[in-house]
Amino acid sequence: MSDRLPGFSTLAVHAGAQPDPTTGARATPIYQTTSFVFNDADHAASLFGLQAFGNIYTRIGNPTNAVLEERVAALEGGTAALAVASGHAAQVVVLQQLLQPGDEFIAARKLYGGSINQFTHAFKSFGWNVVWADPDDIASFERAVTPRTKAIFIESIANPAGSITDIEAISTVARKAGVPLIVDNTLASPYLIRPIDHGADIVVHSLTKFLGGHGNSLGGIIVDAGTFDWSTGGKYPMLSEPRPEYHGIRLQETFGNFAFAIACRVLGLRDLGPALSPFNAFMILTGIETLPLRMQKHCDNAKAVAEYLAGHPAVASVSYAGLPSDKYNQLARKYAPKGAGAVFTFSLKGGYDAGVSLVSKLQLFSHLANVGDTRSLVIHPASTTHSQLDDAAKIKSGAGPDVVRISVGIEDKEDLIADLEQALGA
Ligand SMILES: *Cc1c(COP(=O)(O)O)cnc(C)c1O
């Protein structure tokens, strides 16, 4: 064996996987089983007491899911990961380990529309209070810190406009406040940005998007960077205090730099229950094998489409960080030098009605609420994903009435441009 560390594309194909020890199967099998036989009573007791690692029940862990967890942890440069049923489930499980009722977390205002809803409504009912900050104004994060702040949440490439967040600057604020920085890396994928290299303590993904990549399976994942000291100041009792359900062990003391991933599994997933089906784990693993190839093509196509739109007379403006004139281009060059992603917005001179008309005329672009598919997708956020927000909040989150969002697929770019040409011109 050479002692060279494997590169990103090699990890995307191999990390976490071995030929199946009993059958020799080379692709990772789908372990479609709910439960696993114990060797004997002592083995069972040690698994339940967290004294040994092993399979018990698929709500807590499954061998197919374990390959996916190891692979994404390797691609993100984390110590461990936990796969769950969806991106939203990942967010609930993460924050449940960090917040007690009455606590606060600071979130960037530019987020996936579903996350804005989840944070504003569902989390409020748990007593977790979101405080919004502006990712373009780092001082707004500093001003939002209070003694009850337990975490900061941002997107690396932010929905819907594809703006680039200054992860290092916000990680400095988090460090000063003594709270972990959580980065939703869904739109970038680790191929474009590895937030842990820039100071993130926890990375979350909707695997539903670019990692799975084919628009066929929901999933989410939590990656533990292993960087945060959970024992400081008694702020994170789930990690630092004795756990009554596990014979009084303290998770940080016992599991060290992967204690957060363990907490998410043995407290969060075990009790809240959003387990990922092994079938979806298999589909997502297969998608990840081609992540580097797909992601580069997504980015190259997105840049060509953005350049075309920027020159079209019906288009008022294009927000794509990969364009040299874009206000996020500097940050894109620093954080995402291989490409600025494939999700971005543009605005139409004809306003709301032009947006609605465009989505109805496009043929190759599918009009639907998803991103990160091999297929090109389009949506008019003001009439759909962001329709619950009032006008001021729509504009603040980058989803004004004249704004159209696209997720550029991996088709031939000439065909995508021809489709836009007929829809904008007609
Ligand atoms: C889709 C998405 C989510 C939510 O993920 P689901 O898998 O749909 O639950 C969270 N964050 C971002 C950036 C997303 O695009």
If asked whether residues 248 and 394 sit together in one domain, one would say: no
Q: How far apart are CA 75 and CA 82, in angstroms?
A: 14
The packing angle between helices 351-361 and 413-425, to 10°, is: 130
Q: Which residues pair with 108 in a beta bridge?
A: 133
Calculate how far, in angstroms, residue 254's C-alpha sits from the geometric centre of ligand 1: 32
- Residue 191 domain-assigned (yes or no): yes
Tell me the best of 208, 276, 370 to mutate to test the pocket of ligand 1, counting ligand atoms within 8 Å of each CB and taking the most: 208
- Residue 25 domain-assigned (yes or no): yes
Q: How far apart are CA 256 and CA 3, in angstroms?
A: 27
Q: Output the pLDDT for position 388.
A: 79
Residues with CB under 6 A from ligand 1: 86-88, 112, 114-115, 155, 159, 184, 186-187, 206, 208-209, 218, 220, 371
**Counting atoms of ligand 1 from 1, which one is nearest the CA of 88?**
9
Calculate how far, in angstroms, residue 115's C-alpha sits from the geometric centre of ligand 1: 7
Q: Kindly report, residue by residue over 112-167, the tens digit of the pLDDT.
A: 989 999 999 999 999 999 999 999 999 999 999 999 999 999 999 998 889 999 99
- Residue 1 domain-assigned (yes or no): no
**Counting atoms of ligand 1 from 1, which one is nearest the CA of 371?**
15
Q: What average pLDDT does range 392-401 have in this prediction? A: 83
If asked whether residues 148 and 253 sit together in one domain, one would say: yes
If asked whether residues 91 and 149 sit together in one domain, one would say: yes
b (16+ CB within 10 A) / e for 372-386: bbbbbbbbbbbebbb
pLDDT higher than threshold 80 for residue 397? no
Mean pLDDT of the chain: 95
pLDDT tier at 385, thresholds 50, 70, 90: confident
Calculate how far, in angstroms, residue 20's C-alpha sits from the geometric centre of ligand 1: 32
pLDDT higher than threshold 80 for residue 1? no
pLDDT higher than threshold 60 for residue 426? no
If asked whether residues 362 and 414 sit together in one domain, one would say: yes
Q: Output the pLDDT for position 417.
A: 98
CA-nearest residue for atom 8, ligand 1, is 87
Its pTM stands at 0.96
**Counting atoms of ligand 1 from 1, which one is nearest the CA of 155?**
13
Q: What average pLDDT does range 41-65 have in this prediction? A: 93
Calculate how far, in angstroms, residue 179's C-alpha sits from the geometric centre of ligand 1: 23
Q: Output the pLDDT for position 316.
A: 96
Q: What average pLDDT does range 33-37 have in this prediction? A: 96
Give 202 or 370, the one with higher predicted confidence: 202
Q: What percent of the chain has pLDDT over 70?
A: 100
Under 8 Å between Cβ of 267 and 273? no
If asked whether residues 106 and 145 sit together in one domain, one would say: yes
Calculate how far, in angstroms, residue 206's C-alpha sits from the geometric centre of ligand 1: 5
Calculate how far, in angstroms, residue 91's C-alpha sits from the geometric centre of ligand 1: 9
Tell me the best of 192, 209, 371, 377 to mutate to test the pocket of ligand 1, counting ligand atoms within 8 Å of each CB and taking the most: 209
- Residue 213 domain-assigned (yes or no): yes
pLDDT higher than threshold 90 for residue 396? no
pLDDT tier at 412, thresholds 50, 70, 90: very high
If asked whether residues 45 and 179 sit together in one domain, one would say: yes
If asked whether residues 300 and 387 sit together in one domain, one would say: yes
- Residue 412 domain-assigned (yes or no): yes
CATH number for the domain spanning 337: value is: 3.90.1150.10
| CA distances (Å), origin 243, targets 223, 239, 250, 283 | 22, 9, 6, 35
- Structural domains in the chain (count): 2
Calculate how far, in angstroms, residue 113's C-alpha sits from the geometric centre of ligand 1: 9
If asked whether residues 223 and 332 sit together in one domain, one would say: no
Residue span of the structural domain in which 404 resides: 291-425
Q: Kindly report, residue by residue over 174-187, the tens digit of the pLDDT.
A: 999 999 999 999 99
CA-nearest residue for atom 12, ligand 1, is 112
CATH number for the domain spanning 166: value is: 3.40.640.10
Please identify, among 232, 257, 287, the residue that sits at the C-terminal boundary of a domain: 287
